Structure 1
Amino acid sequence: MKYGDIGLLLPSRGLVIGGVDPVPIDILNKLAQRADSVGFDSVWVGDSLIAKPRLEPLSLLGSIAAITNNVRIGTAVLLGALREPILLAQAAATVDLVSKGRLNLGIGVGGGFNKDQQGEWVAAGIDQKTRAKRFEEIVEIIKLLWSEETINFQGDHFNLEEVSLGFRPFQRPTIPIRLATHSGPGREKQYLRAAKIADGIISISDSPDEFRQVISNVETEAKNLNRNTEHFHNVYYMTVNINDNHDVALKESDDWIKKYYGLNFWTDKWGPFGSTSAIKDRIIQYFQSGADEVVVRFASYDQPGQLDQFEQKILPELL
């Protein structure tokens, strides 16, 4: 039974924390090609400048587009407020053309919850307190640049006069945007922002019930704005480790996540870590909670081995 789309998070950060120099990019390329050939619907890469160093996402997706044919490609998620809008619009439109319209732009405001995250804003020369408004202006600008021949824009952070990219993305009217949106107190602005500017959401670390509520909250805000959400594509991004020995799976996941984030970041909402049946059941729960797509990230140093098990034991049950 086809519950929805299945995506694979490629280890653009995982390869860096592996400590091999130069970064073994062939591993990532082979994972992308395997995903393309065995039935995955999409492949994704994450983003960070210096807080969680990794390969630059849009350059990487352009490379992946050239060696795949079927999978959609996406960012999960790109930190939009750290970018300059014209360069971002140009780069994303180029990737969309190279891939013949396969790009999903997962994008988020970005955080400043710890010293490393705060350091990214300092390094980029941006006041993190302005990131939400800056982000909204950037999304508005890139969508205009993708859909109009020439644009004018006046905002608090950007003022553009008679600006044109000179070309448009493959997808019309624009590249679809999935906005990072999560549950929790004080998230009302996220729901309204998604309803106003996105074509769907992408969420991480919410339970199935919380994810369902997030979707409902965004739909309510969209209805208040007279915006139709029938075309929205909602994505859940989950982190797993496949091993019949739960303790072994948990130990590797714990070590991997701590190195990935630089702190003990994860909670019991992440996972599951263990048997294929537990992971399959959890994926189905997210589909039943409203996900149109579930993206899987392997919390493991053996990415090919994890993909082998997922391909053989889980993927056939979801297609």
Structure 2
Amino acid sequence: MTIEPHEKKGTAPKLGVYVNNRAAVFLGEGFTLSDLIDLAVSAEDAGLDFVSVGDSLLAKPRYSPIVVLAGIAAVTKQIELTTGILQPHMRNPVMLAQEWATLDVLCGGRTSLGVGLGTGPLELVEAEYRLIGIPKRKRGVAFDEAITLLRQLWTEPEVTFSGEVFQIDSATVGFSSARRPHPPILVACGGYVPEQAGTGPNDFYSPETAGTFTGPFERVVRLGDGWITGIVTPDEYRRALGVVDALAQQRGRKLDDGFERRLNCFLHIGPDAAQARQVGQEFLESYHRLPFDSETLDRWLIAGTAEACAEQISAYVDAGVTSFQFVLADHQQQRQLERLANDLAPRVRDNVTVAAMA
């Protein structure tokens, strides 16, 4: 099967595919790093808006995200390159600012930077923080400081900073990114707390918040040029977006059309809904190395026929989502991309166009 390019219509959301640099590790010969690069080229040929890669040290081992995106930059011309997400606080901020700006120049200003705290099996997440020498209890502070430093290093000639975690004296990257004033930063925030501890992908749980979607949304409007979230129902998303908007207004900030609102979701398109859900669940549990309860699965996995998937996506568009990061929940990554590009994307765009005309 070939992938045919599609024209974008009206106010349709941005559609992107997660070219899975973890799957390229755990699927072995079934999906190699070379296959990943080919998948990114296919995504561009199909007219998708962006490709993204993820980040982890020990919790979910994978190929290095910036290096992978540099490889993709070499064989693509237009598609946006991003992360969904990268953990900036696990790197020296000056080195990260230099490496990401280099990537942005290399690809002609096509990058945006999706950032988040990351998650995974609790013992492995804790091991990651021991490895980098930052107490896990300070990861939120480290994250905030890292984003603040990235912005300064990309826009100021010289930076001095003294924080709880990072200290920098008279540092400079020495050059600017191609995208001005700097690549947009999309902050991941918000998570579903499952009813039962030890299920789902997140490493946080408390009886008080079990069964709810929650997060420190103030961080989004304070640090972000956009917002990434997932494992959320359309109604919950609408309410959370209202909170984000209200917090922005309190800070004297208006979140206009340039503020991207991205949903991360797993996707399996297939003719049989039950089988699509089962295959999707098996993939998620292999990917995260954790069991998934039904509630978390149904919040994060869009599965079924292209028509049914398009209806679910339309509900999120109605709730305010402006872009979708699709993680292909299938060992056959190329097959799933073909279904996304040929069967699902035209329906999503047509649905939005029809709604706009109504």
TM bucket (normalised to shorter chain) is over 0.9
CA–CA distance in 2 between the matches of 1:183 and 1:132? 15
Equivalent in the alignment of 1:311: 341
2:260 alignment partner, one of 209, 233, 258: 233
Report if the CA contact (8 A) 1:76-1:106 is conserved: yes
CA RMSD of aligned residues (A): 1.9
Report how far residue 308 of structure 1 moved. Answer: 1.3
Report if the CA contact (8 A) 1:233-1:293 is conserved: yes
Deviating above 3 A after TM superposition, structure 1's stretches of 4 or more consecutive aligned residues are 183-189
1:95 alignment partner, one of 94, 97, 103: 103
Report if the CA contact (8 A) 1:104-1:177 is conserved: yes
Report if the CA contact (8 A) 2:59-2:119 is conserved: no
Report how far residue 250 of structure 1 moved. Answer: 2.1
Give TM-score scaled by structure 1 length.
Answer: 0.94
CA–CA distance in 1 between the matches of 2:145 and 2:300? 32
CA–CA distance in 1 between the matches of 2:270 and 2:228? 27
Equivalent in the alignment of 2:317: 287
Letter in 2 for 1:53: P
Correspondence 1:264-283 to 2 at 5 A: 264-265=291-292, 266-283=296-313
Gaps of 5+ in 2: 1-8, 193-208, 350-358
Report how far residue 197 of structure 1 moved. Answer: 0.9
Correspondence 1:192-271 to 2 at 5 A: 192-230=218-256, 231-265=258-292, 266-271=296-301
CA–CA distance in 2 between the matches of 1:225 and 1:165? 30
Report if the CA contact (8 A) 1:179-1:198 is conserved: yes
Report if the CA contact (8 A) 1:183-1:210 is conserved: no
Identity, in percent, stands at 29
Equivalent in the alignment of 2:165: 157
- Note the alpha carbon deviations across 1:115-153, whole angstroms, 9 max, x for none: 122221122222100111111111101100000111111
Letter in 2 for 1:283: I
Give TM-score scaled by structure 2 length.
Answer: 0.84
Equivalent in the alignment of 1:10: 19
Correspondence 1:20-169 to 2 at 5 A: 20=29, 24-111=32-119, 114-169=122-177
Letter in 2 for 1:196: R
Count residues with an aligned counterpart: 318
CA–CA distance in 1 between the matches of 2:117 and 2:283? 25
Gaps of 5+ in 1: none
- Note the alpha carbon deviations across 1:143-198, whole angstroms, 9 max, x for none: 00000111111211222221100001111112101100115659876211111110
Report if the CA contact (8 A) 1:151-1:163 is conserved: yes
SS in 1 for 2:260: coil
Report if the CA contact (8 A) 2:190-2:215 is conserved: no
Report if the CA contact (8 A) 2:21-2:36 is conserved: yes
Report how far residue 244 of structure 1 moved. Answer: 0.7
CA–CA distance in 1 between the matches of 2:120 and 2:331? 28
Letter in 1 for 2:164: D
The alpha-carbon distance between structure 1 residues 189 and 285, as it changes in their structure 2 partners (threshold 3 A), is: closer
Letter in 2 for 1:133: V
Query: Which is worse superposed, 282-291 or 5-14?
Result: 282-291
Report if the CA contact (8 A) 2:270-2:276 is conserved: yes
SS in 1 for 2:331: coil
